[in-house]
Structure 1
Amino acid sequence: MQSTETNTAKGSKTTWDMGTDTTLIHILARNAELLGNRVAMREKHLGIWQETTWSQMLDTTLACAAGMESLGFGAEDALLVLGDNRPRLYMGMLAAGVLGGYAMPVYSTATPDEIRHFMHETHVRFVLAEDQEQVDKVLDLGDQGATIKNIIYDEPRGLTNYSNPGLISWEKLQAIGADRLRAEPKLRNSLIERALPDGPAVFVHSSGTTGKPKGVVLSHRNFLAGVRNAHRGGAFTFGETILAYLPMAWVGDFAITVGAGVALHFTINIPERQETVLHDLREVAPTFYLAAPRSWDNMLTTIQVRMEDSTPLKKWFYDVFMNSALASERRKLEGKQPSLTERLMRQLGEWLIFGPIKDQLGLTRLRGAFTGGEAIGEDTFVFYRALGVKLRQFYGQTESSAFTALQDTEEVRLHTVGKPLPGVEVKIGDNGEVLIRSGSVFSGYYKLENATREALEDGWLHTGDAGYIEPDGHMVVLGRLSEVVYTSKGERYIPNYIENRLKFSPYIKDVAVLGSGRDTLAAIICIDMEPVGHWAEVRGISYMSYADLSQKPEVIELVTAAVKRVNSILPDGLKLHHFVSLHKEFDPDDGEVTRTRKLRRNVVEERYAPIIDAIYGGQQTVTMKAQITYESGEVGTIERQLSVQEI
């Protein structure tokens, strides 16, 4: 496939080849040649946006590669990357790929045990760390016997007095690489040509819902195939403006920020801190934005809170125009046309209400708005569509380089994930499993032959998801196939399906549905502290902590109402009969959910067995001790008496 893009830097037409028989570094070199002075990355630092052009990005990446090679990094070596989104960390990952090594990003909040698992998986000897906090984590592991040759750090603050051997600043690494490039004139082109299309681009991990995360090495060809498929399917186009804030360890971040970012020469904006993402989002006003359902929920909560605090007149205008837009959008989802009055109200509302709200949020230029990872609540989805943000759902896996299916802008349905992308084949197995085949699919799990044989068969990836394809080609994903369970009465259900419906409530953050082999279904529910806390404050309900708030009678009633709403759409045999509001959140540090907040059901059911026994034993209360892991890695416990609520 080819696409023609106007090269404004040179004022001529340039043909951009979107083939997959190339590498990310080769495309980066092309961008530097044709778009040299155009901005590739912008990073917010001390309140000021710092810009990096495509030429600078290439030079920095090559200097990093030359420097790392001088330190002994080579093909099949692994570079552990620790930290939040930073330009140097992205360029360091590209440099590892240049040398045929494995760039292995890890969640910045990863515990020492998780990092140790990744380091032993590939015998990591090189680390690229964002700051002192991440360096300290690695040094602690080194004291425990981990073999680490070099730790390269980005932010020098707090590290100037460290004298640990192998600790080297990014600036020093750059100087080593630049000196070598000057001394070896042929090295620059050699580095650009060294990586192979089927060579490693990044080493990421599966979510690990049923055990330790499995290593997934994705090649340049895999990513470029995924980007090409997504481009053909209308996910994004050349020259998008994006905000790179998603966790670097998640495959979607690399696929969008680096894969599509380089291949389609995006302008990549990086927030100052995770805490400033919403503020930076408004400044950037991206044209493409992907967020998990929970992030869209949080943004909606922000809007609702601000409207609660506004004047009566503004609230009246908001209610009138938003209610009209919501009614219009629901008619569209039902396949009906909005009325003339609704169309007129839509136009006037855009000027008075919707436009200003989108401007405050940084959504005014948004062409591609996406959500994925789990089902999004109907109310949230319809709200953004009514606001004028054409929110769409997408579906993908780590093993398929993130992109599999996508909703079309004007063909969205609440229960589907859209149609398979061009270049992606999908079929449903005899057991109801979703199978896919595409150039974006990986070649196997790292050093796990048995798991690879189970996942790949005759070129088809077994996704592990249960689903079906509607007559017009739309895909419906029900949940994990391994989670299909039965009640003692033979009722078949997927807990995740019910859990997602419960999480449609803005007041519920996490849920574990119980009932396998039991007569009835029940749930352990974790409230969402921020919206529930605001709800309580508005009503004058005082509380001291999450544990205290979660057990307030008024909050229990709030959760009960949410459970009853979900029960109203479930068949009689699958209605929830009891629930317990947990006194703490499910925490990835405690192993209860993954870093992407997917439930580790076996851990939850084992850890909270006393609650499960109390529910099905007919008890009205249960005293529960819960394990918590502090940022230092130390483990503690909290104890609380919880009530078992009957619906």
Structure 2
Amino acid sequence: MSTTFPRLLLEHAAKRPQAPAVREKEYGIWQTLTWSQLAHLVRELAAGLALAGLQRGQHIVVVGANRPRLSASMIAAQSLGAVPVPLYQDAAGAEYAFPITNAEVAFAIVEDQEQVDKLLELRETCPRLERIWFDDPRGMRNYDEPGLASLDTLIERGRAFCAEQPGWFEEQVKQTQPDDVAAMFFTSGTTGNPKGVVHTHFTLTDRARAGASFDNLGNDEEVLAYLPPAWIGQNIFSYAQWLVCGYVVNCPESASTVMIDLKEIGPTYYFAPPSVFEGLLTSVMIRMEDAGAIKRWLFHRFMAVARRVGPIRMDGGTVGFTDRLLYALGNLCIYGPLRNTLGLSRVRVAYTAGEAIGPDLFSFYRAIGVNLKQLYGSTETAVFVCMQPDNAVRADTVGVPCEGVELQVTDSGEILIRSPGLLKGYYKNDAATGEVLSPEGWYRTGDAGFLDASGQLKIIDRVKDVGRLQGGPYDGAMFAPKYVENKLKFFPYIKEAVAFGDRRDRVCAFINVDFNAVGNWAERHNLPYAGYTDLAQKPEVYELIRDCVEKVNADLSNDDKLCGSQVTRFLVLHKELDADDGELTRTRKVRRGYIGEKYTVLVDAMYSGKESQYIETQVKFEDGRTGMVAADLKIGDAKTFSPVQKAA
């Protein structure tokens, strides 16, 4: 049944007024808002916004971490028929200029002083931005700016108005229809200015329902909301599905307390990009390497059992009595305590998306009893396109089409989607909308892939990124950079990778090492270092990375289509790739083209056969200052392997 987010809120408040809706941790204590309390807060915020002049169809920017009053502000804006536009809280102030100007934003609700400062700096660039409200008053006492006020002030005005007009809010909610615009999400902008993806209440609630139905989600789920709300992945899990299902969303105290809060809450429904699961596993392996000999032996012994038995159990298969006994003992001694340490002891369903996840990483979590699955979708599709059913989970696919989704694969290998969750369009960009939406209603994903024999979708790379080698022994061979990069990132020592090779005679790559994992490895090998740049250029680290690269090459040699994508030369960058330096998007996607231009001298050095190359790079620090990082980078050669001949 078609509905809107404000109507869903009122339904929960009427049916389950005292049930917890959202929790926030403040000063170490969890504070709870019931559905009834949340509805009252939204009513007062909506009235305050209406009195301030927010009108139907207008955009309002929301910037901050996951906070109950920011989520309530979004529902309040939607109640008036206005359109919330969440932006990344860690973005530099200048990055807000385009979305605010493009969407003609006059109102903004932000979390704290940091976000206020960013928006105040933009007022000359964005003269339409008249009103800014902040949630957290710390540090704001001496601010005296026109149009700047606290959310408490807005709520107080709204409370007085609601007392005078008791039926006003419900009337506003009735006027908002399912086909009205509910929110706008800006894309990461890997190739230029971000695009505003327009979604209606119907598209978002329909996909939220489809995902909930797929995994039998109910109002008894617990979710931890710790990823940026501006990312539609977080938004669909902790906003759209929250209001559709009525489960409890928990907001951590801060980014630094997420792991503690994760263990305290013990979510039953968990979502994270592969990088988070990689980080969790890396921390576990670092701790195990520091453990005593007996503990390490027990861990590796029982993990061998888990890898053999766990995935079969998770997929509903049967195992022998001895293996069942060993797994039960391992669960008591290793797997159970490990799940508890990770905060995943109560997880019933865990999803990852956004990037490919390594098969070893994937099997590790399933081996210890975490029902980790993959899904496929994007901002334009409201996330839920393909999902992995229980008992049919594989590391190399992203699942089957979920309810209402149709898939087509073109002759060029591009995946086309038709779904009730497709975007209404790109805001003020009819040309871009026409490029991705066909008259027949098909959305061009830009992803290359295919449906395998079991009906599951397998993604290879972005269509525009799939290239060809020119010259050399693999002349004309396919080159899929993202596929190669993901294989490299499957190793815990490699945090990011950037592969080059299109219209070249061979493949070369930049590597970013994982500072924590490699730093721990260096300490265990008595290798001193003085920071990232020094560690990255150690000969021993190059040998460590060379081993990873050559393992990827050996794996690629088994693929008759991508055997030419083996990495022949590599270097370890002197700095970590950073969104503040323009090298990554805010969702941590590599901006390969920008990196190739920025580090042209390094790319040329690899392809010209040099053994090293000096470079100086400007970097931006967290406090806004800039500095220079310089290093003489070594360039390493990697062994490649002849293609494996498949048996006829």
Question: Where on the TM-score scale, by shorter chain, does this alignment land: which range?
Answer: over 0.9
Correspondence for 1:644:
635
Correspondence for 2:333:
352
Correspondence for 1:275:
256
For residues 413-562 of structure 1, the aligned pairs below 5 Å read 413-457=394-438, 458-488=440-470, 489-562=475-548
Q: Judge conservation of contact 1:112–1:633 (CA < 8 Å) in 2.
A: no
SS at match of 2:250: strand
Q: CA deviation at 1:142?
A: 1.5
Instruction: Calculate the aligned-residue CA RMSD, in Å.
Output: 1.6
| Farther off after superposition, 46-55 or 409-418 | 409-418
Equivalent in 573, 593, 604 of residue 613 of structure 1 = 604
Correspondence for 1:196:
177
Q: Percent of pairs identical after alignment?
A: 39
1:627 aligns with 2:618: yes
In 1, Cα distance between the equivalents of 2:628 and 2:292? 45
SS at match of 1:569: helix
Q: CA deviation at 1:308?
A: 2.5
Q: CA deviation at 1:144?
A: 4.7
Equivalent in 586, 589, 605 of residue 577 of structure 2 = 586
In 1, Cα distance between the equivalents of 2:316 and 2:448? 27
In structure 2, relative to structure 1, the CA distance for the partners of 1:558 and 1:332 (3 Å cut) is: farther
For residues 58-137 of structure 1, the aligned pairs below 5 Å read 58-137=39-118
Structure 2: which amino acid aligns with 1:643? K
Structure 2: which amino acid aligns with 1:393? Q
In 2, Cα distance between the equivalents of 1:45 and 1:62? 24
In 1, Cα distance between the equivalents of 2:187 and 2:111? 23
Structure 1: which amino acid aligns with 2:546? T
Q: CA deviation at 1:538?
A: 1.9
Structure 2: which amino acid aligns with 1:431? S
Q: CA deviation at 1:634?
A: 4.5
Correspondence for 1:15:
none
Correspondence for 2:165:
184
Q: CA deviation at 1:235?
A: 6.7
In structure 2, relative to structure 1, the CA distance for the partners of 1:177 and 1:415 (3 Å cut) is: same
SS at match of 1:440: coil
| Farther off after superposition, 82-91 or 186-195 | 186-195
Q: Which runs of 5+ in 2 are unaligned?
A: 558-562, 639-648
In structure 2, relative to structure 1, the CA distance for the partners of 1:122 and 1:56 (3 Å cut) is: same
In structure 2, relative to structure 1, the CA distance for the partners of 1:335 and 1:158 (3 Å cut) is: closer
- Tell me the number of residue pairs that the alignment of Structure 1 and Structure 2 aligns: 628
Q: CA deviation at 1:430?
A: 2.4
Q: CA deviation at 1:330?
A: 6.3
In 1, Cα distance between the equivalents of 2:316 and 2:368? 19
Q: CA deviation at 1:123?
A: 1.7
TM-score by length of 2: 0.94
Equivalent in 221, 224, 228 of residue 205 of structure 2 = 224
SS at match of 1:80: strand
Structure 1: which amino acid aligns with 2:451? I
Correspondence for 1:6:
none
Correspondence for 1:32:
13
For residues 45-444 of structure 1, the aligned pairs below 5 Å read 45-144=26-125, 146-234=127-215, 236-329=217-310, 338-444=319-425
Structure 2: which amino acid aligns with 1:550? A
SS at match of 1:370: strand
Q: CA deviation at 1:109?
A: 1.0
Q: Judge conservation of contact 2:480–2:565 (CA < 8 Å) in 1.
A: no
Q: Judge conservation of contact 1:325–1:342 (CA < 8 Å) in 2.
A: no
1:396-421 deviations in Å (ceiling 9; x for gaps)? 11011111111112111121001011
Q: Judge conservation of contact 1:547–1:583 (CA < 8 Å) in 2.
A: yes
Q: CA deviation at 1:136?
A: 0.7
Correspondence for 1:595:
586
In structure 2, relative to structure 1, the CA distance for the partners of 1:610 and 1:332 (3 Å cut) is: farther
SS at match of 2:208: helix
In 1, Cα distance between the equivalents of 2:250 and 2:187? 26
Q: Judge conservation of contact 2:497–2:511 (CA < 8 Å) in 1.
A: yes
In 1, Cα distance between the equivalents of 2:12 and 2:625? 47
